[in-house]
Amino acid sequence: MSKLQISEQYKYGFESNVPSDALPPGLNEGVIRAISAKKNEPPFLLEWRLKAYRHWLKMVEPNWAKLNINPIDFNAISYFSKPKSQVDRPKSLDEVDPELLRTYERLGIPLHEQKMLAGVAMDAVFDSVSVATTFKEKLADAGVIFLPFSEAVEKHPDLIKKYMGTVIPYRDNFFAALNSAVFSDGSFVYIPPGVRCPMELSTYFRINAMNTGQFERTLIIADKGSYVSYLEGCSAPMRDENQLHAAVVELVAHEDSEIKYSTVQNWYPGDENGKGGIYNFVTKRGDCREARSKISWTQVETGSAITWKYPSVILKGDHSSGSFYSVAVVNNYQQADTGTKMVHIGKNTSSTIVSKGISTGKGQNTYRGLVKVSPLAKNARNHTECDSLLLSDTCGAHTFPYIEVSHPSAQVEHEATTSKISEQELFYCRQRGLSEEEAVNLIVNGFCKTVFQELPMEFAVEAQKLLEISLEGSVG
């Protein structure tokens, strides 16, 4: 496959000419103090960052057997970059740099409210800072707080203090500790008791500046009896160097509440020889803290050179339920190691896992999942379905389902399949007029159907297109 084709495939690979105000590369306590100072953070937050940093220094980078990672030089990364025009946060979209707005237009995400998808409120994070949040008033009327993380720190420090780090402590793992020390921005959502959020909430993450890591933090709290559906999307310019993206996402679901969190991940995957691409090392965890709460993760992962993420649910509340629906695609030299952890603690808790891995080129696709039933988790139920589709002879699919059951009443089911698209299937489709590529897309979409159904409607079509682009030229 030619270079040209690849460039066409990753149509989000352009770079915007937006002057940035960045910290020089390197990581030390001074850098952390500088980030915190730039954001006028309260002392408790600086303290927390420093504790995380000191803890991180003592940790060693995880070395996962199935991943082939170039060593990361943490001192070569700039930990903060923001568009110059954003030095004083714009009060409204009229004050946003038009070049930035154009960037989002090109990405297919117009931030002007009148042009936006109806019913979707959007926050856009460009490198390290949030540049625009739309539909603020409409959400405020419903009592919903949807703010860039740094703005939430200023306006609602009590909520941040109460919830941040309670699902993913900074000691959790190497990349979570790093994020806790240096995170720059992200999204914050609070849904008050009894409120059904009137629109989909969405954040679009974009890495633009070179040698910049993106370390965003998202915190979503659904108070009693509330409901929210949230979607994140991401992209980055094409570069030969690997760029690090180490996010943390924490979800807290109180009694009778429900959080649906969807991801369409399309970071630059690197070229056809495996050069460049984003290292996507993300910690995502939801806490079903109280009775009858529900958390659902849906992800469509098509981008990144390496994806390393296990969106998990801690099922503490009695009758709480968690689900994980995933499509992960690897092409060329991409590597994905993804899955989930479902930790059953409360009584009568249930979890559902549906993982669809599609592999082609020399891609390596690993499902790694843990279902844990603790000694008090009476009547826990889990159903896991783990399917792999192989489109080339040089790719690999691996499945590591770990099951730890400590209560005899648990019902844990695991099904796994591996399939290829047969010549007979292709010929049948082609005899009916479909090209080989159309036939593959049709079969792949059918394969992913149960996951796409979980996405908000506006994004299901988008995800389908993205999948087709990722697999372009991968058959025949």
Q: Which residues contact 459 (CB under 8 A, 6 or more apart)?
A: 231, 233, 262, 264
Helices (H) and strands (E) in the chain, counts: 11, 24
Q: Name which of 43 and 433 has its Cβ closer to another protein.
A: 433
Q: Name which of 335 and 441 has its Cβ closer to another protein.
A: 441
Q: Which residues contact 165 (CB under 8 A, 6 or more apart)?
A: 48, 180, 250
* CA–CA distance, 256 with 253 (Å, rounded to integer): 8
Q: Name which of 21 and 425 has its Cβ closer to another protein.
A: 425
Q: Both tokens of residue 317?
A: 């509340």
The residue with tokens 């070179």 is 210
Q: Closest separation between CB of residue 6 and another protein, Å?
A: 25
- Alpha helix ranges (H) inside 172-232: 174-182
Count of CB atoms within 10 A of residue 192's CB? 16
Q: Name which of 333 and 367 has its Cβ closer to another protein.
A: 367
User: Interface with another protein includes 465 (CB under 8 A)?
Assistant: no
User: Interface with another protein includes 385 (CB under 8 A)?
Assistant: no
Q: Name which of 162 and 449 has its Cβ closer to another protein.
A: 449
Q: Closest separation between CB of residue 389 and another protein, Å?
A: 9
**Crossing angle for the helix pair 29-38 and 43-57, nearest 10 degrees?**
150
Q: Closest separation between CB of residue 341 and another protein, Å?
A: 27
User: Interface with another protein includes 64 (CB under 8 A)?
Assistant: no
Q: Give 3-state DSSP helix, strand, coil % of the chain, rounded to 5.
A: 25, 35, 40
The alpha carbon dihedral of 44, 47, 53, 54 has a sign of negative
Are 121 and 139 a contacting pair, CB within 8 Å?
yes
Q: Closest separation between CB of residue 327 and another protein, Å?
A: 12
Q: Closest separation between CB of residue 360 and another protein, Å?
A: 17
Q: Closest separation between CB of residue 475 and another protein, Å?
A: 14
Report how many residues bind another protein under the rule CB under 8 A.
Answer: 21
Tell me which residues in 144-183 interact with another protein (CB under 8 A): none
User: Interface with another protein includes 447 (CB under 8 A)?
Assistant: yes
Give 38's Cβ-side CA count (13 Å radius): 23
Q: Name which of 409 and 422 has its Cβ closer to another protein.
A: 422
User: Interface with another protein includes 449 (CB under 8 A)?
Assistant: yes
The conformation of residue 191, written as its DSSP 8-state character, comes to: E
Q: Name which of 273 and 422 has its Cβ closer to another protein.
A: 422
Q: Closest separation between CB of residue 195 and another protein, Å?
A: 35
Of 298, 299, 307, 296, residue with least CA distance to 270: 307
Q: Name which of 402 and 428 has its Cβ closer to another protein.
A: 428
Q: Name which of 172 and 425 has its Cβ closer to another protein.
A: 425
Q: Closest separation between CB of residue 428 and another protein, Å?
A: 5
Q: Closest separation between CB of residue 452 and another protein, Å?
A: 11
Tell me which residues in 417-446 interact with another protein (CB under 8 A): 422-425, 427-436, 438, 442-443, 445-446
Of 292, 233, 243, residue with least CA distance to 269: 243
Mode of pairing for the β-strands spanning 120-126 and 129-133: antiparallel
Q: Give the footprint of another protein on this chain (CB under 8 A).
A: 422-425, 427-436, 438, 442-443, 445-447, 449
